[in-house]
Amino acid sequence: MPTPVDPAVLYPDVAACGSLAAALRVAAQGCLDAVPVRSSDLLHAVVPSTVPHREPLVISAWSWERRWSIRGEEPFQGLPLIDGTTNDLAEVARAARAWHDGAVLDDICRAAPFVHLTGRDEVPDCDPARLTESEWQSLRKEAAELEYDWRETYQALIEAAYAERVLRALYPFTSHWALRFSTTTRPDLTVVGPCLGANGDGSYGVGRAMIRHDLGVFTTAEEAVAVAVHHLPPGLVPVALGG
Domain boundaries, the chain: 7-117, 128-230
- Give percent of the chain above pLDDT 90: 91
**Predicted model pTM:** 0.94
pLDDT beyond 80 at 97: yes
pLDDT beyond 90 at 175: no
Spatial distance between the Cα atoms of 226 and 219, rounded to a whole number of angstroms: 12
The sign of the CA dihedral 125, 129, 134, 138 is positive
Work out whether strand 68-73 and strand 57-61 pair parallel, antiparallel, or are unpaired: antiparallel
Spatial distance between the Cα atoms of 144 and 136, rounded to a whole number of angstroms: 12
Q: Between 150 and 225, where is the model more confident? A: 225
For 158-162, the CB contacts below 8 A with 24+ separation are 159/221, 160/220, 160/221, 160/222, 160/224, 160/225, 161/196, 161/221, 161/225, 161/228, 162/136
What digits encode the pLDDT tens for the residues 57-94?
A: 999 999 999 999 999 999 999 999 999 999 999 999 99
Question: What pLDDT sits at residue 243?
Answer: 84
pLDDT beyond 80 at 212: no
| pLDDT (mean) for 7-25 | 97
Q: How long is the chain?
A: 243
Spatial distance between the Cα atoms of 91 and 82, rounded to a whole number of angstroms: 14
Give 211's pLDDT tier (boundaries 50, 70, 90).
low
| pLDDT (mean) for 162-178 | 95
